Structure 1
Amino acid sequence: MSMKKVLLLLSAFVGASQYAVHAGEGQFTVAVIPDTQYYTDFRHQTDAGFPFDARELFFDQMRYIAANAQSAGGDIAFATALGDVWQHPSERMPAEYAAKGYKHIESFLTSLPQIHPDERVKTIEMPTARQGYELIAGKLPFSVVPGNHDYDANWADSRYVPGQKPEFPFGMLAYGGLKNWASVFGAQTPFFKDKRWYVASYKEGVDSAQIFEAGGYRFLHIGLEMAPADDVLQWAESVIKRYPGVPTIISTHDHLNPAGERRPISAVDFHAVDPSHNNPEAVWEKFLSKNDQIFLMLSAHQYGQSRRVDLNQYGHKVYQIMSDYQGRRQSFVNAAPGRSNEQETVGDGWMRLMKFDLSGPKPHIQVQTISTYFKSTASKLPTYAVFYKAAEKPKASDADFIAADEFTLDLDDFTSRFASARVKDAKKGK
C-alpha cells in the first residue's frame, strides 16, 4: 500500500472517533438508514463474482448502530430505515392488480436486472436483510418502511408506453404486494411482536408506529408505506391523536427529490398509475401540514441529498430531509480497480446520524453523514468531494457539497411547542 493511501486511511480513522460519542443530558441521536438494496443484492456477493460481499457493508452499519445504542452506553436512541431494504421483486404483477384490469408491457425499465423478478430475493436478499436487523434487535427501538424494491411485484403499466409522452420516456413502473415484506418486518414478526415501544400498526405492519424517550422528551415515530392512500393517512392521524402533544417524526421512502421538491421520479409515480395513492405534495397537504405534532419528515429513494423547511397550518416548522447514497461506488473501485469502468454502485456504507441537543436555550439537530466503510464523516474524509460531487452535485463547490451532508437544524420553536411532552426521566430504548 502506498504512503498516500496509508495517510488517507489514517485520516479517515481519526475522523471516525469524532462521531462515536456518549450522550449528555438532553442529547441523543437518531440513526437514519437510507436504501440498502445494493448491499443485500444477490448479484453483489462473491458467490456471484462480485469482488467483495457487499452485505458486509450493511452488516457494518448495523453493528455500528448496535455498538452505539443507548443500551450499550452510546447515544443512539432510535433507528429508522427508509426503504428499499432488498433489491428484487419475486413476481411481475400481483393477482389483485391483474383482477383490477392492470396490464403489463415489456419496456426498458422491466429489462433492468434490478427490476426483473428473481426467486433469489427470498433465498438470499430477504434472509440477509433479516440477519442485518437481528444485529440491532433488542438493542433499541427501530422502524423499517417498504420502498418500491421491497414490494412483491414491479411491472410496467400498459397505459404508459415508452416514448409516448416526453415526460415518460421509459414508460411507468408500478409496484404492489407486500407479502414478502410482512414475512420479515410485519407486526407479528419477532422484531416487533410484543415490544412495548411498537405501539401501532396497519396492514399487517406495512405502516407502523413506535414510541421512544430520549433527551428528556417522549417521541412518536410513524413509518409510512410509499405513496400512502387516504386510509393510511387516516390511520396515521388516529395514532397521533392517541399521543397528544408528543413531537412526531415521519419516515417514508419517497418524499423529496434532490432539488428539494416534493416530486416523485416520473417513471416511479404510483399516484399516476393508481390515483388512490397520494403523491408527496398530497401527503403534505392532507397530512403533514395539518398535524401540528409533526416536526420532522425523513425520506430516501432519489439519489443524493436535499432538505427544505415549510410552515404547517399552525405556523410551525416542518423539517423535510432526504438522503440516499446507493449510487456511490468507491468501495467497488477500490476492490476492483481493473473493473472501474463498470457502473456497479454499492453505497459505500454512508448513512445519517441526527444528533439532537435539547439541553440549552437553542435546541438543535446536528446532522452528520458517516460511512462505516471509510470510518469517517463526510467533512473529515479528505476525498469526499472528489469521490462523489461530480455524479451528485457537479455545479456545487466542494464546501457546499459537504454542507449538504453536514448541517444544523435550529429547532427554535421546539421547547415551547412540545413542553407537555417532557418527561422527568428519559428511559433508554428497550
Structure 2
Amino acid sequence: MSSTRRLFLLNAGLIPAAAAALPGVASAEPVAQGFTRPDTDSPRFTVAVIPDTQYLYDRDRGDSAPLEASLRYIVDTAREHNTVFAAHLGDMTENGLRGEFTAISRTFRILDRFPYSVLAGNHDIDASKDDQRGPSPYLDEFGPHRLRHSPAFRGATRDGYNSYHVFRAAGKEWLVLAMDWRPSAGSIAWAREVMRKHPRSPVILTTHEFVHADGGDGKAVLSDFGQKLWNDLVKDNDQIFLALNGHYWPPGRTVLRNTAGNEVHAHITNYQDRYYGGSAMIRLYHFDLARGVIDVETFSPWLQDQRSLSALAQQETTRSGPGDCFTLEIDFAERFAGFDPIPAPKPRPVREIVIPGTVAYWRFDNRDTRDLSGNGNHLVAQDTPQWSTEHHRGQPGHGSVYLKDAYFRTVTGAPMNKATFHRGYTVEAFFKLPKDFGDANAWCALLSRLGSGADAGKTGDDPKEALASLALSGGRQLQWAVFPLNQNAISTNWGHELPSGKWWHVAVVNDGRTTTLYVDGSKLLRNPSTPAVGFPAIGDVWLLGASNYERKVGKSFYGWLGDVRVVDRPLAQRDFMLR
C-alpha cells in the first residue's frame, strides 16, 4: 500500500534496476485466448476490474496461479456476462523488478487480444517521480506497444504511462482513462483533450490512488492526491461518472457531486490484505441500462475452482460486505444528458396512427377533443380538464390532459357507442399517476362503457358493474373487466403494481376469443384463458377518464391521460402506438 518502504529500498540501492526472472513467481505459461465479441447493442454488459496483485508477484514469494484463474475466468465467461472490458488498477507487482514484470507479463498473455487496460501503481515504478520518470520494467512489458493488441486501445501519452481505451456497449461508445500513479500536468491536459475529442462518451476513470475508506465504516473520502485529481480533472468534466482505484484498503465507496451537479461514483477496490494476497479477487460491474443499475460483485475464481478449501479460504471465495457486493442506481439517460442528450422523439402525424381498423383516436396536444380517426367518435368534456404538455416519451402526441374531477364522454350517436367488437379489439392508452395515488383513488377508470351488466341481461358476479372498464386498484394495479357477449359473468385481466410518478403505456388486446393485457409492450401474467368474445352494446356512451357503477358515473381518473386509441382488431406488439 504505502510507498514508504519502496522509496527507502530504492534510495538505499537495495532494489536493482533490473533482475532476472525469479523462480516461483510464475507457474505454467498461460495460453493466449481469443476475444469473444460482445453484443454491443444489448443494454446489459460487464466491466471486469482487477485490483492490486502485488503480493502474487513478489520476488520468489509469489504465485501466478490465482491471477491466471481470474484472467481465464474473464475470458471464458465473456459471452455469458457480455464482458466488454477489463481494467487493472495498479500495483501489479510488489517491487517493480524486471523478473516480476516478466512473470506477470506472461500471465497477461491470457488477455492479449481482449480489451483491457493496466496502469502503474506506486510499487510498479519509482514512486517518487511523476509519469515523466522515464524507462521502467513496467513500461517495457505493458507500454503502448503491448496495449496495441487490445481492440479497445486508442492511444497513450508520449511517456507511455497513461492510456485511453474505447469500447462499444449498449449502442454507444464508452471511454476508459487509465491514469498513472502520479500523472503530470501535461498528462492531465492530455486526458482533458481525449475527452474533448470524444464529447459524447461516458468516462470511467481508473487510477491507483483517488479515495480511501480508512474510517472502517465503508465510507470513502478523497485522499490528498485524490483531492488534487478531483480538482484538476474530475469535477469539471461531467463525462466522468465512475472513478475506480486500488492502493488502499479496506474497500469503500462514496458519491461525489461535480460542478454540473451530477453524481460521480468513487470506489476503492483492494484485497491484498486478505488471504493469499487477495487471491486475485476480481470485481464485476454488471451494467444494466434497461433497469438503470450497475450490479457489483466481488469474488476469487481461483478459490471457487478449488475442490477442497480450508476454513480460512472458504471465507474468501466471495466477498459479500456492503463495500464488495452492492447495486448502484443510475438513471443513465439523465446522468449523461449534459454531454450526450437523447433527442426527444418528434410528434408523429395522425395519419401514421390511424391504421386500418381504427375506431377512435384521441390526443390532447392541441386541446382537441375530436376523434382524429374521422369516424365521429368525438368527446365532450365534463367539468374542466387541465391541459398539459407532459407526455410519455414514446407517445405520438406531445400532450396530455390532467384529470381529477373532470372526465369526457363520447357524443350521443357516436358509432362507437353501438360497437360490440365481437371479432376482437385493441384498446391503448398512455397515463401517469401522481405520487399520492392511493386507496382513495381505487377503481378510477381510464376508460369505461356506461351501462351495467344488468342492462345487458347479465346476472353473474355483480350485475351493477360497468359493461367494460379499464381501471386501477388502490394498489396501482391495472384491471380490464368486461361482461363478454358469450359469458354471464365478468371476465377480468389483472396487472401488477405500477410505480407512480412515471408514464406508462397499456394495451388490451382481444383476438376474438381471449384477452391479453400489456404494459409498456410487455405481456402480463394474469390473463384469463376462458373465451371472452366482445361485449354488449346498449347504445350508451363511453366514458374517458371515469368509472361507472349501476349506470352512475363514479370516480374520475386521477392523473395524466395521453393518447388513446381503439382499434376493432387485435394488434401485434410491434403495431402499438408505443415507440
C-alpha spacing 1:304/1:63, structure 2 compared with 1 (3 Å): same
Please state if 1:127 is matched with 2:108: no
Match runs of 1:253-292 below 5 Å: 253-259=208-214, 260-263=220-223, 279-292=225-238
Match of 2:507 in 1: none
Match of 1:326 in 2: 272
Structure with greater helix percent: 1
Please state if 1:33 is matched with 2:8: no
C-alpha spacing 1:242/1:314, structure 2 compared with 1 (3 Å): same
Please state if 1:75 is matched with 2:49: no
1:249-290 alpha-carbon deviations (Å, 9 max, x no partner): 1100011112412115xxxxxxxxxxxxxx210110121000
Q: Give the residue type in structure 2 aligned to 1:324.
A: N
Secondary structure of the 2:296 match is strand
Preserved CA contact (<8 Å) 2:44 2:288: yes
Preserved CA contact (<8 Å) 1:247 1:421: no
Secondary structure of the 1:304 match is coil
C-alpha spacing 1:148/1:239, structure 2 compared with 1 (3 Å): same
Match runs of 1:134-283 below 5 Å: 134-138=109-113, 140-151=114-125, 153=126, 176-189=133-146, 191-192=147-148, 197-259=152-214, 260-263=220-223, 279-283=225-229
1:363-417 alpha-carbon deviations (Å, 9 max, x no partner): 11001001113228xxxx99799957xxxxxxxxxx9x71221001111244562
Preserved CA contact (<8 Å) 1:213 1:219: yes
Preserved CA contact (<8 Å) 1:298 1:320: yes
Give the CA deviation at 1:356. 0.3
Give the CA deviation at 1:420. 3.7
Q: 1:375 aligns with which of 295, 299, 304?
A: 304
C-alpha spacing 1:383/1:287, structure 2 compared with 1 (3 Å): farther
C-alpha spacing 1:350/1:421, structure 2 compared with 1 (3 Å): farther
C-alpha spacing 1:176/1:205, structure 2 compared with 1 (3 Å): closer
Match runs of 1:311-390 below 5 Å: 311-329=257-275, 331=276, 346-360=277-291, 363-375=292-304, 387=315
Please state if 1:59 is matched with 2:59: no
Give the CA deviation at 1:56. 0.5
Secondary structure of the 2:138 match is helix
Give the CA deviation at 1:229. 2.4
Q: Can you give the 5+ residue segments of structure 1 that lack an aligned partner in the other structure? A: 1-21, 46-53, 90-120, 158-173, 265-278, 332-345, 389-398, 423-430
1:153-204 alpha-carbon deviations (Å, 9 max, x no partner): 367x9xxxxxxxxxxxxxxxx9955422211111123x326x5531121034
2: distance between equivalents of 1:313 and 1:385?
44
Preserved CA contact (<8 Å) 1:57 1:373: yes
Normalising by structure 1, we get a TM-score of 0.62
Please state if 1:405 is matched with 2:324: yes
Secondary structure of the 2:191 match is helix
Preserved CA contact (<8 Å) 1:198 1:211: yes
Q: Percent identity?
A: 28
Secondary structure of the 1:286 match is helix
Q: Can you give the 5+ residue segments of structure 2 that lack an aligned partner in the other structure? A: 1-37, 215-219, 343-579
Q: Give the residue type in structure 1 aligned to 2:289.
A: L
Q: Give the residue type in structure 1 aligned to 2:304.
A: K
Secondary structure of the 1:284 match is helix
Match of 1:100 in 2: none
Secondary structure of the 1:63 match is helix
Q: Larger relative contact order (C-alpha < 8 A, sep ≥ 6)?
A: 1
Q: Give the residue type in structure 2 aligned to 1:263.
A: S
C-alpha spacing 1:412/1:384, structure 2 compared with 1 (3 Å): farther
1: distance between equivalents of 2:239 and 2:312?
36
C-alpha spacing 1:373/1:285, structure 2 compared with 1 (3 Å): same
Q: Give the residue type in structure 1 aligned to 2:136.
A: K
Q: Give the residue type in structure 2 aligned to 1:31.
A: A
2: distance between equivalents of 1:386 and 1:375?
9
Give the CA deviation at 1:218. 1.1
For structure 1, which segment, 224-233 or 283-292, has the greater mean C-alpha deviation from structure 2 after superposition? Answer: 224-233
1: distance between equivalents of 2:324 and 2:178?
23
Preserved CA contact (<8 Å) 2:50 2:280: no
Normalising by structure 2, we get a TM-score of 0.47
Give the CA deviation at 1:59. 0.8
Preserved CA contact (<8 Å) 1:217 1:421: no
Preserved CA contact (<8 Å) 2:115 2:151: no
Instruction: State how many pairs are aligned.
Output: 293
Q: Give the residue type in structure 2 aligned to 1:130.
A: S
Secondary structure of the 2:252 match is strand
Secondary structure of the 1:205 match is coil
Preserved CA contact (<8 Å) 1:82 1:298: yes
Structure with greater strand percent: 2
Give the CA deviation at 1:225. 0.5
Preserved CA contact (<8 Å) 1:188 1:204: no
Preserved CA contact (<8 Å) 1:181 1:206: no
2: distance between equivalents of 1:410 and 1:253?
25
2: distance between equivalents of 1:79 and 1:146?
15
Match of 1:164 in 2: none
Preserved CA contact (<8 Å) 1:148 1:175: no
Match of 1:394 in 2: none
Q: Give the residue type in structure 1 aligned to 2:76.
A: A
Secondary structure of the 2:212 match is coil
C-alpha spacing 1:28/1:206, structure 2 compared with 1 (3 Å): same
Secondary structure of the 1:131 match is helix
